């Protein structure tokens, strides 16, 4: 089956400036080469808002101990979420140019921070929960994608439950892998057979620690100003041409989401005050309906 994308992935990163860069292979700020941030299709990325960051930190603190949230996602660093396929909801978490985890919601068990190696290395700085200590003899097998068997467990967080996301470490706190618990913490230590942890991410990676390099969305917008202006001009031109070509009444279909909001704002950039069409299915959140009314009132637009 072919890979489904929303188009070319334009998200790149300058590791010298620690800034997301759109499209350009050379950073507009420092002139250094940029690298593509590889996202799982469809690659539908967006800024993480305060609520997202608070929820991420709360989940990390709960699963790996107090302070884990701030260690993994420090203040004054840009965080991006990219929608990924899942039964319910899942976003890839990007910070400092690295995909560090998937943040997943499962019915019945709630939010889970499914760490990749870059995320596990960050957790490894301060964890006090959610860990399994493996025997040195088990490390080569784990790094060959094998699961961690109970005989290879030296110690484990006693609060680990079946199905928890955990990190596998050595007695010296070196992060070896991430995975899902197949036993409780006490069972891992006491058992002499069976799978203790089903490994997920296990290949060693170079850890780019960019936490001293703070950044902000204001800096990111300034760095990408040229690309943004060009894209806006292209869209405004397309809007004018489409309206002129069809010579029919025009409206903006507005769902209250980020994509249709971008379309709406582009029509304003085009100097148009088009009526807004919102389809209330009866299943909308009250906050969505309120938001639609607020946007129309703010910009003086007719709401249908």
Domain residue limits, the chain:
1-115, 130-206, 224-299
- Written in H, E and C, the secondary structure of the chain is CCCCCCCCCCEEEECCCCEEEECCCECCCCCCECEECCCCCCCEEEECCHHHHHHHHHHHHHHHCCCHHHHHCCCCCCEEEEECCCCCEEEEEEECCEEEEEEEEECCCEEEEEECHHHHHHHCCCCCCCEEEECHHHHHHHCCCCCEEHHHEEEECCCCCCCCEEEEECCCCCEEEEEEECCCHHHHHHCCCCEEEEEEECCCCCCCCCCCCCCCHHHHHHHCHHHHHHHHHHHHHHHHHHHHHHCCCCCEECCCCHHHHHHHHHHHHCCCCCCEECCCCCCCCHHHHHHHHHHHHHHCCCEC
pLDDT above 70: residue 221? yes
For residue 64, what pLDDT band results from cuts at 50, 70 and 90?
A: very high
pLDDT above 90: residue 5? no
Q: How confident is the model over 269-284, as pLDDT tens digits?
A: 999 999 999 999 999 9
Return d(Cα 148, Cα 195) in angstroms, integer: 6
On whether the 130-206 domain is CATH 3.40.50.10490, my answer is: no
CB contact set of 237 (below 8 Å; sequence gap of 6+):
none
For residue 1, what pLDDT band results from cuts at 50, 70 and 90?
A: very low
Token digits of residue 95: 């910070």
Does 120 or 107 have the greater pLDDT score?
120
Q: How confident is the model over 178-216, as pLDDT tens digits?
A: 999 999 999 999 999 999 999 999 999 999 889 899 999
pTM for this entry: 0.91
What pLDDT sits at residue 6? 62
């Amino acid at each position: 089956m072919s890979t489904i994308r929303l188009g070319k992935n334009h998200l790149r990163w300058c590791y010298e400036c620690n800034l997301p860069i759109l499209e350009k292979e050379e950073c507009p700020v420092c002139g250094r080469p940029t690298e593509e941030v590889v996202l799982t299709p469809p690659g539908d990325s967006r800024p993480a808002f305060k609520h997202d960051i608070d929820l991420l930190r709360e989940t990390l603190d709960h699963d790996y101990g107090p302070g884990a949230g701030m260690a993994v996602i420090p203040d004054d660093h840009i965080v991006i979420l990219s929608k990924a396929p899942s039964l319910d909801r899942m976003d890839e978490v990007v910070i400092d140019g690295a995909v560090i985890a998937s943040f997943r919601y499962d019915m019945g068990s709630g939010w889970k921070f499914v760490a990749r190696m870059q995320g596990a290395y960050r957790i490894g700085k301060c964890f006090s929960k959610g860990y399994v200590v493996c025997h040195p003899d088990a490390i080569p097998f784990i790094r060959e994608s094998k699961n961690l068997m109970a005989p290879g467990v030296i110690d484990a967080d006693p609060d680990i439950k079946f199905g928890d996301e955990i990190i596998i470490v050595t007695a010296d706190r070196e992060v070896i892998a991430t995975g899902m618990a197949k036993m409780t913490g006490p069972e891992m230590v006491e058992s002499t057979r069976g799978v203790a942890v089903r490994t997920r991410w296990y290949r060693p990676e170079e850890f780019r620690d960019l936490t001293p390099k703070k950044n902000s969305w204001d800096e990111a917008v300034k760095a990408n100003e040229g690309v943004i202006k060009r894209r806006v001009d292209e869209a405004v031109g397309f809007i004018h041409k489409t309206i002129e070509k069809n010579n029919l009444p025009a409206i903006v279909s507005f769902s209250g989401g980020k994509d249709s909001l971008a379309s709406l704002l582009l029509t304003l950039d085009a100097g148009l005050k088009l009526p807004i069409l919102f389809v209330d299915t009866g299943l909308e959140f009250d906050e969505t309906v309120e938001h639609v009314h607020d946007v129309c009132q703010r910009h003086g637009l007719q709401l249908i």
